Amino acid sequence: MKKNLVVIGNGMVTGRFLDELSKFPGHNYQITVISAESSGTYNRIMLSSVLAGDAQFPEIIQKSPEWFTENQVTLRQGEAVVHVNRASKEVVTSKGNHFSYDHLVFATGSRAATIPAANQDLNNIYPFRSVGDTQKILDHADSCASAIVVGGGFLGLEAAWGLAQRGIKVTVIHRSEYILNRQLDKTASQLLQKKLELAGLHFALGTEVEAFQGDNIVQSVKLNNGSQLNCDIAIIATGITHNAELGWQIGLGGTRAIQVDPLMQTCDPNISAIGECAEIDGQTFGLVEPLWQHAKILANKLCAPDIREVNGFLDKPIATKLKISGVQLFSVGKVNANDPSNEITLLDEKAGIYRKLIIEDQKIVGAVLYGDVRSGNWYVDLMCSKTELSNANTMLLFGQEYLAA
């Protein structure tokens, strides 16, 4: 008799989790995936490319419903889990279906955060998270002349870029003085801003949306600096809220997401959580790279308990990139050193190249690369391995090709 393995959510981590499980062909699980969305498993990251017209929806589907049939995985789409009964080990869906589990996996991800602005329920104000959101934005885009994107982080910029590619005049509203302030320092940020401005984007920085205005449909936003901007459409991309409420309801711990141990197990040994809905040691996730570890650790643990990932989840520095064509950007670790003498910077304004390394105690602790991202991963490796550097630090900046000799 096979054991029932039930997975809530069919996002990116689930896709990878299924791949990892399939590496154990003889495993003893009957798998059921319950998904609130209805598009199969798709590459959420690529929604930016879809918005920009660089990719089409079908191209980003990673696992279609047919895949599930072929691989004998039960897929319930368009059906959200609304309740879990730990005692009877079963879940209840929005359609009233019950599924019992031997092991339950939360992979509910996150959703776009809301902002403290008035009238967010007006029409034509969208988050940018799912195929559904993207479809709606695209449906309206044709009839729009101007757009507002709230949030000057990665997601906001990619959304703004995508809309601008469709000939819409886009203004990005960002709370900080400069865009991508978590990933870039001011110099890199300004180079990026200049480049995006040349491509037609507009920016309102150091300000926040106080209220959306319009009857029924959004027509303008009012900013806390007193100015007002007209728009036909608005996208909110200020951050994410982890989908942890369902877990919390049944007593799984956690402060921002569902708390798990390094082997992805919640306080209930029959329940695990992976992906953006999980929280390890107080840390939550917003990029895919660490999620691949989650998927692998849990699959190994369930199918081959003896060859568990050594020590479970390992926190590693992750580099971030921006998926805007023509923009090369790479950022990892610290963005600014406490002591400027720990920074090595290189600026070529005309070529639009900026590279910075932060070196503390003879070790790389951060890198910001703009315009030329060579050797970015090498820096990450040096950072992860905490390699002690010699005195030729300056040479590091030119990349790996320049250090061998």
Binding site for ligand FAD (CB under 6 A): 8-14, 34-37, 44-45, 47-48, 80-81, 107-110, 128-129, 155, 243, 246, 275-276, 286-289, 291, 323
What is the DSSP code (8-state) at residue 338?
A: S
Query: In terms of CB distance, is 40 or 214 closer to another protein?
Result: 40
Give, in order, the Cα–Cα distances in Å from 306 to each of 20, 30, 82, 90, 274.
Answer: 16, 21, 34, 28, 20
Report the alpha-carbon distance of residue 374 to residue 370 in Å, rounded.
Answer: 10
Determine whether 181 is exposed, middle or buried from the number of CB atoms within 10 Å of its CB (0-12, 13-18, 19+). Answer: middle
For residue 328, the cross-strand partners are: none
Q: Is 404 in the site for another protein (CB under 8 A)?
A: yes
Q: Is 92 in the site for another protein (CB under 8 A)?
A: no
Query: In terms of CB distance, is 15 or 247 closer to another protein?
Result: 15
Instruction: Choose the one of another protein, ligand FAD, none that binds residue 346, judging by a C-beta under 5 to 8 angstroms depending on kind.
Output: another protein
State the minimum distance, in angstroms, from the CB of residue 126 to ligand FAD.
12
Q: Is 55 in the site for another protein (CB under 8 A)?
A: yes
In order, the DSSP letters of 258-309 are EEE-TTSB-SSTTEEE-GGGEEETTB---SSHHHHHHHHHHHHHHH-GGG--
Q: Is 385 in the site for another protein (CB under 8 A)?
A: no
Nearest in space to 238 (alpha carbons), one of 286, 197, 280:
286
Is the dihedral angle over the CA atoms 363, 349, 319, 203 positive or is it negative?
Answer: positive
The binder of another protein chosen from 345, 365, 384, 389 (CB under 8 A): 345
x/- mask, another protein, residues 11-50, rule CB under 8 A, reads --------------------------------x-xx--x-
Q: Is 59 in the site for another protein (CB under 8 A)?
A: yes
Check if the beta carbon of residue 332 is closer than 8 Å to that of residue 319. Answer: yes
State the minimum distance, in angstroms, from the CB of residue 157 to another protein.
15
State the minimum distance, in angstroms, from the CB of residue 275 to ligand FAD.
2
Report the alpha-carbon distance of residue 346 to residue 338 in Å, rounded.
Answer: 18
Max intra-chain CA distance, the chain: 68
Instruction: Choose the one of another protein, ligand FAD, none that binds residue 399, judging by a C-beta under 5 to 8 angstroms depending on kind.
Output: another protein
| Chain residues in the site for another protein (CB under 8 A) | 43, 45-46, 49, 54-55, 59, 62, 288-289, 292, 321, 323, 328, 330, 337, 340-351, 353, 355, 372-378, 391-395, 397-402, 404-405
